[in-house]
């Protein structure tokens, strides 16, 4: 006998029945469009190309080669099977010592060996998603808030608020200032929260920025540290794209800034990291909370039991990241390939008159399509986005999903596909923009013709407007 409830809301929790996950966003709708009609070069050449997923697939060949050359790193090979029992049994949720040591050393290398990280302060989590939520639980009570500069990653609305009850207060950044974070914007957001009787507990920075593809300079980091110190609130720095920076300006970690400020309150500074973007391992779910606050480390470690990294994964990662020669070569080649892919994409877009915010980090470009909008509204932005997804068959992400302060900006990802698929995507963009420009020119010609025709009618001696009586009245 099957029991059906007339009202599921009376049987399930508020979390189960609310809309806090945020799946009703164009950001996730684009993914659904791709999932229902995925592009394939031979089986579905007219399908949707996924350009809404920030995934780094450009160096998988290097990873695969290392795995082939180091079969003992995995317990799922004949060479590594002897260690199966030791890895399969319960482990301390502090994590394998060799794993924490290797991750700490990798974080140092990514930051140019300018800082040191204590392996005992590394707390594992299920990806950056888990790390963000763990820190939210540790630092912020339900109904309190974090300040977040816009535009920001749409997943923050889910990761930081859905289960925690935390609020996000946007720090509005403008395109006229290249979306840079200013003290004035921070103060305005803080005052807005105060005026709404919302207690602010921290500031969340994403450096390098998703979706902007830019790095936060040292001065802005220092000003942000000063701001949080003045307000006695936490500073959380999400640095998951730190190894994706190619060229200058280089990446500066908040760890470098606090190292240069011996009198700052380290208890208020925390870092989120993962291997999802820098190594291209989102499926491994390796996230890290690094806090200078002993109480946060202790609490986060206890919470980590809800989202541990599997010991098998820890063992493999420890072996790979302990191979310093491999790591050095991988980081250099990954940056080179990401830089070339970005340059190729920006050049292709520039050829059809599409401008991108200047950047050198991340796995995406922040694309300016404001001139293609019918009007400077978010409704017009969504109309253009639907056209791009449904007709051009490209899943790009509209700025509204990132809480951008003005319509017409789109995030477009470039590192989750091969060169051939990228060329197909660029050709679709070229044809789309050319078609839009042709229609605009036709419209302008039509309007010009109508204006000229009206002028000729006005000037005709047979026109009523040519009558002396009409002219006298006007």
Active site residues: 153, 238, 240, 277
DSSP 3-state assignment of 171?
strand
Pairing between β-strand 122-126 and β-strand 200-206 as defined by DSSP bridges:
unpaired
Short-list 263, 244, 242, 246, CA closest to 254:
242
User: What token pair was written down for 442?
Assistant: 């036709």
Short-list 153, 101, 111, 106, CA closest to 132:
153
Q: Which residues pair with 125 in a beta bridge?
A: 287
User: What token pair was written down for 387?
Assistant: 């056209």
DSSP 3-state assignment of 254?
helix
Q: Contact 73/319 with Cβ under 8 angstroms?
A: yes
For residue 170, say if its preceding peptide bond is cis, omega within 30 degrees of 0.
no
Pairing between β-strand 286-291 and β-strand 269-274 as defined by DSSP bridges:
antiparallel
Short-list 414, 325, 421, 331, CA closest to 367:
414
Ordered alpha helix ranges (H), 140-285: 156-159, 183-195, 218-231, 254-259
For residue 151, say if its preceding peptide bond is cis, omega within 30 degrees of 0.
yes
Pairwise CA distance, residues 106 & 131, whole Å: 18
């Amino acid at each position: 006998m099957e029991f059906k409830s007339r009202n599921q809301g009376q049987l399930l929790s508020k979390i189960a029945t609310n809309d806090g996950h945020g799946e009703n966003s164009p950001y996730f709708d684009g993914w659904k469009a791709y999932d229902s009609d995925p592009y394939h070069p031979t089986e579905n050449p007219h399908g949707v190309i996924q350009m809404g997923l920030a995934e780094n697939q450009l160096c998988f060949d290097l990873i695969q080669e290392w795995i082939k050359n180091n079969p003992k790193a995995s317990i799922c090979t004949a060479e590594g099977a002897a260690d199966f029992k030791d890895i399969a049994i319960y482990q301390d949720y502090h994590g394998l010592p060799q794993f924490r040591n290797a991750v700490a050393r990798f974080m140092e290398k990514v930051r140019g060996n300018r800082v040191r990280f204590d392996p005992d302060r590394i707390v594992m989590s299920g990806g950056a998603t888990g790390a963000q939520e763990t820190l939210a639980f540790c630092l912020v009570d339900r109904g309190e808030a974090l300040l977040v500069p816009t535009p920001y990653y749409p997943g923050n609305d889910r990761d930081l608020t859905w289960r925690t009850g935390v609020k996000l207060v946007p720090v509005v950044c403008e395109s006229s200032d290249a979306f840079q974070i200013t003290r004035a914007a921070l103060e305005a957001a803080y005052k807005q929260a105060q005026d709404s009787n919302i207690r602010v507990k921290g500031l969340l920075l994403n450096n390098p920025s998703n979706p902007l593809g830019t790095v936060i300079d040292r001065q802005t980091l220092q000003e942000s540290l000063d701001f949080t110190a003045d307000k006695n609130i936490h500073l959380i720095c999400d640095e998951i794209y730190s190894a994706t920076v190619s060229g200058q300006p280089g990446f500066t970690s908040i760890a470098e800034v606090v190292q240069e400020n011996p009198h700052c309150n380290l208890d208020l500074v925390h870092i989120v990291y993962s291997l999802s973007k820098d190594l291209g391992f989102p499926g491994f779910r390796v996230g890290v909370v690094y806090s200078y606050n002993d109480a946060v480390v202790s609490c986060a470690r206890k919470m980590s039991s809800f989202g541990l990294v599997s010991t098998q994964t820890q063992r493999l990662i420890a072996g790979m990241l302990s191979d310093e020669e491999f790591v050095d070569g991988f980081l250099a080649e990954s940056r080179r390939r990401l830089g070339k892919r970005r340059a190729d994409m920006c050049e292709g877009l520039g050829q059809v008159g599409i401008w991108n915010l200047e950047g050198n980090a991340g796995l995406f470009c922040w694309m300016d399509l404001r001139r293609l909008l019918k009007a400077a509204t978010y409704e017009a932005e969504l109309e253009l986005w639907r056209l791009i997804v449904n007709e051009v068959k490209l899943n790009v992400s509209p700025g509204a999903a990132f809480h951008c302060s003005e319509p017409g900006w789109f995030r477009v990802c470039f590192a989750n596909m091969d060169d051939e698929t990228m060329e197909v995507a660029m050709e679709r963009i070229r044809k789309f923009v050319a078609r839009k420009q042709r229609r605009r020119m036709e419209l302008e010609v039509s309007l010009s013709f109508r204006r000229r025709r009206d002028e000729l009618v006005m000037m005709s001696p047979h026109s009523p407007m040519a009558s002396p009586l009409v002219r006298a009245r006007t």
